[in-house]
A = this chain, B = another copy of it.
């Protein structure tokens, strides 16, 4: 990989998510050379992916080109690459575009969907922008298919939706589907009988939003009920043939199984010695791997045991952001020969929205619900978005959707016959030399 040589120590960061992005920002124009690697050329704001999937927002509103973030950052070099393995002995990272050596390595690879043994090809995941677009296409095409169905069961299999996992993503997605059923789709498909559209939310735990307060769970469940979402608790999906699914002994025809249940850390070959039982990278209070002193892990992939969280922090954006910011400080302290400062997570609270005017929020001891929580949710998300234009466009869309009870972006953008022919797959191959 061609990177200009530099006097400053080289920090290679793998992953431009919440953790990696925040770290790189804090090291902008600081005395180090930072090489940021990501398989995509953009940062994506995962908390709003479900709105892309439900035709509420366009990808560009929640994604932001990484190169733009680091304009005028003389010491930061972005490369779009798939990382294949780490070689800690040689202190080098092997990627799809060649190898690169590091003085310090920061692993911020986040997490990926955990299918618990089910066949991923039959499930609809929601962890990336392409998956969100794919899900949008799938949802819309299912209704076109429903129009053509010759018998009721076939028809239902297209209009029934099963969302697995009642974490924030699952709850918000189920809520958005409930809204589409109530306000949007009947106007588009007057020929269809929407009493045949059922939305099931399946959760293994004994309440929705298990990571939030009892009060929040209770409220969220009520809101879901009001939107017509059927909630199934203490329920696990053990098998799915792509056509019908069994929930609590009931056979439900559905070709739409949306998977938001559980994620697992996305570690990398070469770091096996540092893996915990749950597959995360065990780090000390400084996000440093015990086995490799110049390798750090932050965000979802890192497992830092604390009193409150003996199994590591929850896999949430705030943890990732705070760890990124903190490690940036520590990396600078290393160069200044100062002692490292241990990381402490400051819990700003969590929130989830369920359709228009309804949300739940836990802030310290405060338990917010209904319209106030919904307003808070909107503003928090609007202002954590990257880029002024994005905030503006998202606001325009939200205001539009709110007042028109509509979702404007119902485009099925498929790779048509012609496109199939002219489609140029564009992997980045390694050049002969690095």
Contact = CB atoms under 8 A, between A and B. Distances in A.
Interface of A: 1-2, 4, 39-42, 58-60, 63, 65, 67-68, 71-72, 77, 79-80, 82, 97-98, 112-113, 120-121, 123-125, 127-131, 133-134, 137-138, 140-141, 144-145, 147-150, 154, 187-189, 191, 387-390, 392-393, 396-397, 400, 406, 408-419, 421-424, 426, 428, 430-433
A396 B77 CA distance: 31
B424 A41 contact: no
B60 A121 contact: no
B63 A411 contact: yes
Closest 5 CB pairs of A and B: A141-B426, A67-B188, A150-B431, A60-B409, A65-B410
A426 to B, nearest CB: 4
A418 to B, nearest CB: 7
Total copies of the chain: 2
Given A141-B426, A396-B396, A411-B60, A150 B419 contact: no
B428 A141 contact: yes
A41 B422 contact: no
Given A42-B411, A412-B80, A418-B112, A426 B138 contact: yes
Nearest to A417: B82
B424 A124 contact: yes
Contacts of A71: 187-188
Interface core residue of A97, A406, A419 (most chain B CB under 10 Å): A419
Given A68-B408, A144-B428, A393-B397, 7 more contacts: A1-B148, A68-B188, A71-B188, A113-B418, A120-B418, A137-B426, A393-B393
Given A134-B422, A422-B134, A412 B41 contact: yes
A423 B133 CA distance: 11
A412 B144 contact: no
A65 B2 contact: no
Contacts of A59: 58, 411, 413
Interface core residue of A120, A150, A422 (most chain B CB under 10 Å): A422
A401 to B, nearest CB: 9
Contacts of A388: 400
Nearest to A388: B400
A279 B60 CA distance: 40
Nearest to A133: B413
Contacts of A400: 388-389, 392
